[in-house]
Structure 1
Amino acid sequence: MISGILDISDSNRLHIRVLEREKQGNGGGTSLVKKQKIYYGWIMVIVAAIGVFFSGPGQTYSNSTFIDYLIADFGWSRTEVSSIYSMATFFAGLIMIVVGRFIDRFGQRLMMVGVGVLFAIALFYNSLVTTLPMLFLGFFLIRLLGQGSMSLIPTTLVAQWFVKKRGVAFSLMSLGGFISSAMFPIINIWLIQSYSWQVAWRFWGVMLLVVFVPIAFFFVRNRPEDIGLVPDGHAEGPKLNLKASMEIAEVDWTLKEAMHTRTFWFVLFCVGVPAMVNTGITFHITSIFGSQGLSVQMAATILSMMAFVGIPMSFLSGLILDKIKTNVALMIIFGLEVILLLLLTVMTTNVLAILFGFLWGVAGGIERISLKAIWPNYFGRRYIGSINGVSSTVMVLGSSLGPLPFGAGFDVFGSYQPILLGMIVFPVIAFILSVLAKKPEKTINV
């Protein structure tokens, strides 16, 4: 009987999970499985969605509600606050590689609890900010712990519990992000206007400690194997034959091993492009629309439309992703991005603007799921924290670089058309790399 994890090579620590083991030695896992009416992985999806929701205090859609009040209270300029926010985001992004390694070392449960507590402390700290250096540290902490870590850890948790149903699981998890982006600005404004911006920071700190941290502590289990399960809901034991085991087995790559494949670098480039292009468009969308003779109200409508289209598209893309190759989904994303940039250059009517908003939502829905799923799909679950940490760093750095070329291009040319046309080169390159980014194969020496 083959049991547990089979070590193939000491040099590369290749692991193929052969998921057939006897009932003995499961640490009570088999008895736990018998008591479950639903697969425990779906509980992990709910917890992950809650985690993504509570990343809100570190996200731009929440932080933007505080900016005007900080400027009014302390007399800082908008340029000062914006520059500090960009720098804090940049440095926080650099550290995400370390966060990914910590996830692999300590597991999602300990990291969720630890980050949740530290994030709450950071929010209390932000309520005490009175100087620009304090503001930089506050922004740095909430971007690192909230926008970065509270998004990365849930993603790696879901990746551990699902293989064949990974796309659907990520789709359900993404609901936490949609609900967060819809609720946080409204709640923040109410708290700030009813009490103060300091109270708003403290409110979310308390909510993290009394809601999220206990949920993470009592419910999170790092891997299905920890409780006698395997990915997607199969119980481990003699009834699971070798053929069925191998169907859901994955080959695990370390970060170092993954970095020696061209696919890793191709996908990494593909991760950075949407972050840069979409952030640039979003940051300047009001100005872009105005330069085309469209109203501010239409720009706001398109942003809302993108979100509403993105919700069902995320579910649909999750189902599709479980049926097609992941790099095909990437090809669709970048094909749509080329169309979107071209549309922006000729978008002079509301009809074209609505078409743009719809396609933007479609592309965003596919992107939200595909870029999360491709790393575990290609490189396995065991070292997904380290690998996803690098991806998160590139994504954050890409988003920090996005607005600059649009703004500089407009200042130089007096129009967005040249920079929009110039930006097309990035999704075109990413499309080509997506075609080449096939799932890598690893030589197994038994």
Structure 2
Amino acid sequence: MSVPNKFSFVNPNKFPFFYGYIVLFIGSIGVLASIPGQTVGVSVFTDPVKDALGLSRNQFSNAYMFGTLLSAFFVSKAGILFDRFGARYVAFFATLVLGISLLLCAVSVQISEGLKTMLNVNTWLIPFGVMCVLFFFIRFSGQGVLTMASRNMIMLWFDKNRGKVNAISSITVSLGFSSSPLVLNYLIENHGWERSWQILAVCLFIFSFGILQLYRNKPEDFNLVPDGVKKTIKKVVDTPKKAVKDFTLIEAKKTRGFWMFGLTLAFNSFFATGFTFHVVSIFATQGYSKAHAIAIFIPISIIALSVSTFCNILSDYINHKIYLYVMLGGGVLASCGLLFLSHPMGVYALVAGLGLLSGLFAVINAVTWPRYYGRLHLGAITGKVMSFLVIASAVAPSLFSYCFSTFGSYSYLGYMALAYLLFLIVGALVVKNPQ
């Protein structure tokens, strides 16, 4: 970028310490700011919003699916924009779009009724179409672009300490995501779902100013280097450094690791999204209240936090293929837990499996991509992977919903999940680091 400090009063070169730590802080907050566009942020609104719009659970889930699927086609393009314009502007506009979308979500009932009056029709297709469009915008800007830009920015500012730094970020993000259902549920119960979305939108508009002030694309824009170690000619001459190849997206797609890691992350996105979106209904089938259902995120987050912290610290020294195997094992555990949810051990298996999946997702989705494929085309590569995650999260709520409405239980999704995981386990046996 020709003017990396434009519109900002903050100059990274004038900080008494490495500016990457500011990037770590604000980037982690940026991931948390995407919560209204994440499934964990939408799920708490599911029941009151669908009832207010007069939609069934299947109809609301399908609106979520179509809106999310549509956003998947644009997320990979956003990764290319990240490589071209950097995290700062991409995250700024994504935050504005997310905030505006939440304001429109808050008046979705009025929009639907207005369209019914204008068209002189009274059909569920009107609120269904409205929510498809709104889900597209909040999923694209929140789950897709803002998350990708914030996470990639942190990874670009660190190299040797990338795992340790991601451990710190993961702790912040895990605590925020795990507590968000409780916070959002409190907002809805005290202010209603419409006002809650408006409050979140105002917070996002305020945060967008913070993005302009504190987000920075990469250390090289300020004659700095990752980890804050000053680059000198002496070090370049006297200390030979192993060359790291920067893979293009096309080159990365030719490696088995890209697909195995990407499809494993997609499984986590599918399973976690379907579970989170219908968590109240899933546990209601076993006689649990809404409060008990939401509270299950606490033990899941404790496991995820422990796993991500430990594995992030080790990620600078360990073969990431091991993480792939452990994550697949967590998927098997979670699938078996859903399959035998009526048994108490099934609940424990589900919690443990989801904790492992979530913990390792935070490691692999942040650290593995630059470790395997370099930094130069990180936006394009992670943007493509993000499209996998978005597609998986799009179909999950509808599949979970149809499974329940057809068979009267969510447990049968476990069979499909186990079959998919078996395919990944076989394919992952020969994964190698392309570096």
Matched-pair identity in %:
27
User: CA deviation digits over 1:84-104, x for unaligned, max 9?
Assistant: 122111111221011111101
Instruction: Kindly state the Cα deviation for residue 402 of structure 1 after the two structures are TM-superposed.
Output: 3.1
Q: Distance in 2 between matches of 1:77 and 1:349?
A: 29
Corresponding residue number in structure 2 for 1:162? 158
Report Cα offsets for 1:208-230 as digits up to 9, x if no partner. Answer: 222x2222112222111112221
- Spell out, residue by residue over 1:317-363, the C-alpha distance to the aligned partner (whole angstroms, 9 max, x if none): 11121221112211111123224434544565435533542343133
Which of 119, 122, 133 aligns to 2:101? It is: 122
User: 1:237 is matched by which residue type in structure 2?
Assistant: T
Q: Which runs of 5+ in 1 are unaligned?
A: 1-26, 442-446
Aligned to 2:385: 391
Structure 2: which amino acid aligns with 1:164? K
Query: Is 1:136 matched with 2:120?
Result: no
In the TM superposition, what is the alpha-carbon distance from 1:365 to its structure 2 partner? 0.7
Q: 2: CA distance between counterparts of 1:286 and 1:140?
A: 24
Of the three residues 421, 428, 434, the one matched with 1:434 is 428
CA contact (8 A) 1:270 1:434 kept: no
Instruction: After superposition, give the CA deviation of every residue in 1:186-221 in whole Å (9 maximum; x if it has no partner).
Output: 4444444444433322222222222x2222112222
Asked if 1 retains the 8 angstrom alpha-carbon contact of 2:26 and 2:215, the reply is yes
Counting only pairs closer than 5 Å after superposition, residues 136-285 of structure 1 correspond to structure 2 as 136-210=132-206, 212-242=207-237, 244=239, 246-247=241-242, 250-282=244-276
Alignment of 1:89 onto 2:85: no
Mapped partners of 1:384, 1:51: distance in 2: 18
> Cα gap change, 1:218/1:35 in structure 2, threshold over 3 Å: closer, same or farther?
closer
1:11-26 correspondence to structure 2 within 5 Å: none
Q: Distance in 2 between matches of 1:79 and 1:411?
A: 8
| In 2, Cα distance between equivalents of 1:397 and 1:49 | 24
Match of 1:62 in 2: 41
2 CA distance for matches of 1:259 and 1:165?
26
Cα distance change, pair 188–285 in 1 and its aligned pair in 2 (3 A): closer
How far 1:48 moved relative to its partner?
A: 0.9
Distance 1:313 1:168 in 2: 13
Q: Could you tell me whether the CA contact under 8 Å between 1:33 and 1:229 is conserved in 2?
A: no
Stretch deviating more after TM superposition (315-324 or 75-84): 75-84
Distance 1:394 1:227 in 2: 34
In 2: Cα distance, 1:66 partner to 1:412 partner: 24
Contact 2:171 2:309 in 1 (8 A): no
State the TM-score, normalizing by the size of structure 1: 0.80
User: Whole-Å Cα distance in 2 between the matches of residues 344 and 67 of structure 1?
Assistant: 21
CA pair 86-317 structure 1, distance change in 2 beyond 3 A: same
User: Structure 2 CA distance, aligned partners of 1:342 and 1:191?
Assistant: 34
- Do the aligned residues in 2 keep the contact of 1:57 with 1:204 (CA within 8 Å)? yes
Once the two structures are overlaid, the 10-residue window that deviates more, 42-51 or 347-356, is 347-356
Q: Distance in 1 between matches of 2:406 and 2:388?
A: 28
Q: 1:143 to 1:414 in 2, by over 3 A?
A: closer
- Aligned residue for 1:240, secondary structure, equals helix
| Deviations, residues 115-149 of structure 1 (Å, cap 9, x unaligned) | 22222222223233221233332221111111211
Equivalent position to 2:352, from 349, 354, 358: 358
Matched to 1:160, the amino acid is L
Change (3 A) 1:158 1:242: farther
- Residues 416-431 of structure 1: pairs in structure 2 closer than 5 A: 419-431=413-425
Q: Cα RMSD over matched residues?
A: 3.1
Contact 2:62-2:398 at 8 Å conserved across structures: no
2:29 to 50, 53, 73: 50
Verify the 8 A CA contact 1:55 1:146 in the aligned structure 2: yes
Pair 289,141 (structure 1): closer, same or farther in 2 beyond 3 Å: closer
Give the CA deviation at 1:243. Answer: 5.8
Distance 1:60 1:273 in 2: 15
* Counterpart in the other structure of 1:18: none
Task: Output the amino acid matched with 2:208.
Answer: V
Cα separation, partners in 2 of 1:226 and 1:311, compared to 1, 3 Å: same
**How many residue pairs end up in the alignment?**
408
Distance 1:99 1:350 in 2: 43
Letter of the aligned partner of 1:226 in structure 2?
Answer: D
Q: Do the aligned residues in 1 keep the contact of 2:27 with 2:151 (CA within 8 Å)? A: yes
Aligned residue number for residue 21 of structure 1: none
Question: Are 1:335 and 2:329 matched, yes or no?
Answer: yes
Taking structure 1 as reference, are residues 419 and 378 closer, same or farther at Cα in structure 2, changes over 3 Å only? same
Q: Which residue of 2 aligns with 1:372?
A: 366
8 A Cα contact 1:330 1:431, kept in partner:
no
Q: 1:41 — aligned with what?
A: 20
Structure with the greater alpha carbon radius of gyration:
1
> Structure 2: how far apart are the matches of 1:137 and 1:204?
19
